[in-house]
Chain A
Amino acid sequence: MTFYLNILLYIQIALSGICMYRIIRGPTIPDRMVGIDIFGILVVGICAIIAIQTERSFILDIGIAWIILSFIGTLTLAKYLSGKKLNE
């Protein structure tokens, strides 16, 4: 059980490494932002698996806060991309 959870955690961390590839290599600005958005969702999965491993519940709070902050950040960057000001 613990061994299998470790393997799943390492796979998830490797997947966020793949997102890092897209963030670094992405040819355009929206590509990098897509990578950041997906990275934020993958971190929630990492937090969930660590919460199962350590049997503590506060790690899920980190995941929820990360979702909301990533949501606000992506909306702000999308507004910047479309060329409008933030109060329009």
Chain B
Amino acid sequence: MSSMASLILLSIGILFNLFGCIGLVRLPDVYNRLQAATKCVTLGTCSILIGVLLHFGVSDAGVKAIIAIPILFFASTVAAHALIRGAYQFGIKLGDKSIKDDYKDAVK
């Protein structure tokens, strides 16, 4: 039973990873790409880790999976934020279809 639930969670996680990678390839500029990819892939990997937790139960591997989830959340979101700020200050333009740039007004 718990192995079935763990397989379902693994499948959901890999589905989210697939959506994130499609966004990484298909979207037009770097801001859209990072937004799609970071959100989807972080959620999908957390789902995979919860699946690992259900598979192993409360043992050494399960505790490692629990520890990995908050580390992954904080690390990936903070890294994405810093990266996108660096890209803006590096001078990357928004894509052709973008219509609004709030960060420019906020900085000024």
Contact = CB atoms under 8 A, between A and B. Distances in A.
Contacts of A18: 21, 24-25
B94 interface: no
Contacts of A80: 86
Contact of A19 (B18, B24, B71): B24
Interface residues of A, number: 47
A64 B86 contact: no
Interface in A1-60: 1, 4-5, 8, 11-12, 15, 18-19, 21-22, 28-31, 33-35, 37-38, 41-42, 44-45, 48-49, 51-52, 56-57, 60
B83 A57 contact: no
Interface in B71-87: 71-72, 75-76, 78-80, 82-87
Interface in B26-83: 30, 33-34, 37-38, 41-42, 44-45, 48-49, 51-52, 55-56, 59-61, 64-65, 67-68, 71-72, 75-76, 78-80, 82-83
Given A18-B25, A45-B45, A57 B61 contact: yes
Given A51-B61, A71-B79, A45 B17 contact: yes
Interface of B: 3, 6-7, 10-11, 13-14, 17-18, 20-21, 24-25, 30, 33-34, 37-38, 41-42, 44-45, 48-49, 51-52, 55-56, 59-61, 64-65, 67-68, 71-72, 75-76, 78-80, 82-87, 89-90, 92
Interface of A: 1, 4-5, 8, 11-12, 15, 18-19, 21-22, 28-31, 33-35, 37-38, 41-42, 44-45, 48-49, 51-52, 56-57, 60-61, 63-64, 67-68, 70-71, 74-75, 77-83
